[in-house]
Amino acid sequence: MFPWLFLVLTVVFAYLTYDALSLVAPALPYSEIAKGIGQDLSYMPLSEQEKLNRYPYLYRLGDLNQTVWLFAILTVGFAVATFFAFFE
């Protein structure tokens, strides 16, 4: 039973890796993000804008573009586990 479970998990994590890879976005300065949501930051000095740009990385989930690596590592791990489970 475990080999088939590992195989299913390998396929699931491979799909999640592919999906996360398709959602990777380039890093934008916060001033560009603010323009998109209708905020005007022209009155604010650049040092203050940089603090706003770092806020999501410090207090929220962080850089979600890095989840590709997590899913890729899990995919490879489960692929190796599947290989050894089937050929044990």
pLDDT at 14: 97
Q: What pTM did the predictor assign?
A: 0.65
- Do the Cβ atoms of 20 and 85 come closer than 8 Å? no
> Mean pLDDT of residues grouped by 10 in the chain (88 residues)?
93 94 76 72 75 61 76 96 93
pLDDT at 3: 92
